[in-house]
């Protein structure tokens, strides 16, 4: 399914997104990026949605601790609840850099252990956005339900994980005045 993800507001653009040929939109689980009105607008025209939590800077290994994972998981789940997101929906957390597993793997594992516990306490599923290597490691460890493959084709494990990804991110683009990343949704069960 042709899709896009964006940090920009989609309010008032649902019909145009649908008419441009997109079937789903990835949104940030943050009140400054996603409103109930935008969610309702997308659903009103038949667009599906998936959600990612990214707040702060998950762009280096220093970000990833158990405390941060618990905070992020509870924050993501609480806001998902406020938006009316049904239980069993996957809430993606971002590992937004080309992690070196030998150096960063322990912290990322601790983070996702806590993140998963936190979102599960609200009835949601933990999933991951990141490099192929990070997605592979976390899915194999049972710490992520599925992996959304970052569009950085040079990051570790890209080619290996691509056939297993639920969503594959592609190029950055400008669509309807919004800064977006283009995506292909492979497994539509990640959508709400």
Three-state SS letters, the chain: CEEEEECCCCCCCHHHHHHCCCCEEEEECCCCCCCHHHHHHHHHCCCEEEEEECCCCCCCHHHCCHHHHHHHHHHHHHHHHHHCCCCCCEEEEECCCCCCHHHHHHHHHHHHHHHHHHHHCCCCEEEEEECHHHHHHHHHCCCCCCEEECCCCCCCCHHHHHHHCCEEEEEEEEECCEEEEEEEECCHHHCC
Nearest-10 Cα torsion for 18, 178, 173, 2: -20
> Whose structure tokens read 């919004």?
178
66-83 and 101-120 are packed helices; what angle lies between their axes, rounded to 10 degrees? Answer: 40
Identify the pLDDT of residue 174.
97
Encoding tokens for residue 96?
A: 């937004």
Beta bridge partners of 93: 53, 128
How confident is the model at residue 162, as a pLDDT?
A: 98
Give the CATH number for residue 97. 3.20.20.80
Q: How many domains does the chain have?
A: 1
Domain extent at residue 106: 2-190
Distance CA 114, CA 159 (A): 28
What's the CA gap between 143 and 118, in Å, rounded? 12
Query: Which pLDDT score, from 0 to 100, does residue 55 have?
Result: 87
Query: Tens-digit pLDDT profile for the chain (192 aa)?
Result: 999 999 999 999 999 999 999 999 999 999 999 999 999 999 999 999 999 999 889 999 999 999 999 999 999 999 999 999 999 999 999 999 999 999 999 999 999 999 999 999 999 999 999 999 999 999 999 999 999 999 999 999 999 999 999 999 999 999 999 999 999 999 999 999
| Phi (first) and psi of residue 90, to 5 degrees | -80, 130
Q: Which two tokens stand for residue 141?
A: 């460890």
Contact 93, 74 (CB under 8 A): no
């Amino acid at each position: 399914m042709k899709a896009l993800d964006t940090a920009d507001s989609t309010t008032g653009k649902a019909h145009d997104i649908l008419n441009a040929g997109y079937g789903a939109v990835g949104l940030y689980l943050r009140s400054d990026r996603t409103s109930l009105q935008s969610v309702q607008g997308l659903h009103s025209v038949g667009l599906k949605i998936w959600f990612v939590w990214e707040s702060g800077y998950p762009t280096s290994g220093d970000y990833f601790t158990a405390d941060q994972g618990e905070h992020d998981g509870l924050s993501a789940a609480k806001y998902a609840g406020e938006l009316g997101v049904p239980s069993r929906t996957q809430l993606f957390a971002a590992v937004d850099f080309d992690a070196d597993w030998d150096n960063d793997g322990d912290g990322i594992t601790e983070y996702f252990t806590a993140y998963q516990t936190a979102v599960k306490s609200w009835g949601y599923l933990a999933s991951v956005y990141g490099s192929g290597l990070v997605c592979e490691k976390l899915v194999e460890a049972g710490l992520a339900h599925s992996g959304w493959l970052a569009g950085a084709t040079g990051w570790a494990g890209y080619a290996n994980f691509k056939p297993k990804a639920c969503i594959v991110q592609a190029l950055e683009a400008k669509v309807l005045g919004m800064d977006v990343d283009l995506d292909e949704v492979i497994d539509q069960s990640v959508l709400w």
